[in-house]
Structure 1
Amino acid sequence: MPEAHARMESVRAGARRALAGEQVRLRELREADLPELVAWWRDPDVAVFNSHVQPRPDKPLEEMFRSWSDNGSSAGVAFCVETLNEELVGHVSMWGADVRNRCATFGIVIGPEHQTRGFGTEATRLMISYGFTELGLHRIELMVHAENERAIAVYRRVGFEQEGLFRSKLFYGGCFHDQVLMATLSPVD
Structure 2
Amino acid sequence: MGYISQMFSTKRLSLRAFQSGDEDKLLSLFNNALVAPMMNDGFVRPHGPKFKETLKEIAEGSLMFCVIEEVEGEAFVGMAGFFNKPEAKNRCGEISIAILPEFWNKGYGTEAIRFMVDHGFHSLALHRISLGVHAINDRAIAVYRKIGFIEEGRIRERVWVNGAWTDAVWMGLLAKEWAEKKRSSASQ
Superposition TM-score tier, normalisation by shorter sequence: 0.7 to 0.9
Residue number among 95, 101, 106 corresponding to 2:90 in the alignment? 101
- 1:30-179 pair list within 5 angstroms: 30-50=19-39, 51-60=42-51, 62-70=52-60, 76-85=63-72, 86-96=74-84, 97-179=86-168
Shift in CA distance, 115/173, structure 1 to aligned 2, threshold 3 Å: closer
Deviations 1:4-58 (A, max 9, x none): xxxxxxxxxxxx8x92211112101123322121111111211101122322212
- What is the TM-score of this pair, normalised by structure 2? 0.82
8 Å Cα contact 2:157/2:167 also seen in 1: yes
SS in 2 for 1:69: helix
Name which one, 1 or 2, has greater alpha-carbon Rg.
1
Question: CA separation in 2, counterparts of 1:89 and 1:172?
Answer: 23
Question: CA separation in 2, counterparts of 1:115 and 1:173?
Answer: 19
Which ranges in structure 2 are unaligned for 5 or more consecutive residues? Answer: 1-5, 181-188
SS in 2 for 1:45: coil
141-150 or 86-95, larger mean C-alpha shift = 86-95
Identity of aligned residues (%): 34
**What is the aligned residue count?**
169
Which ranges in structure 1 are unaligned for 5 or more consecutive residues? Answer: 1-15
> Which amino acid in 1 is paired with 2:83?
W
SS in 2 for 1:56: coil
Find runs of 4+ consecutive structure 1 residues off by over 6 angstroms: none
1:4 aligned residue: none
8 Å Cα contact 1:146/1:179 also seen in 2: yes
42-51 or 138-147, larger mean C-alpha shift = 42-51
Question: CA separation in 2, counterparts of 1:149 and 1:57?
Answer: 29
Residue number among 10, 13, 19 corresponding to 1:24 in the alignment? 13
- What is the TM-score of this pair, normalised by structure 1? 0.82
Deviations 1:64-98 (A, max 9, x none): 3222323xx6x611111111122221100112222
Deviations 1:142-170 (A, max 9, x none): 01000000000111111111111111111
2:174 aligned residue: 185
Question: CA separation in 2, counterparts of 1:41 and 1:111?
Answer: 9
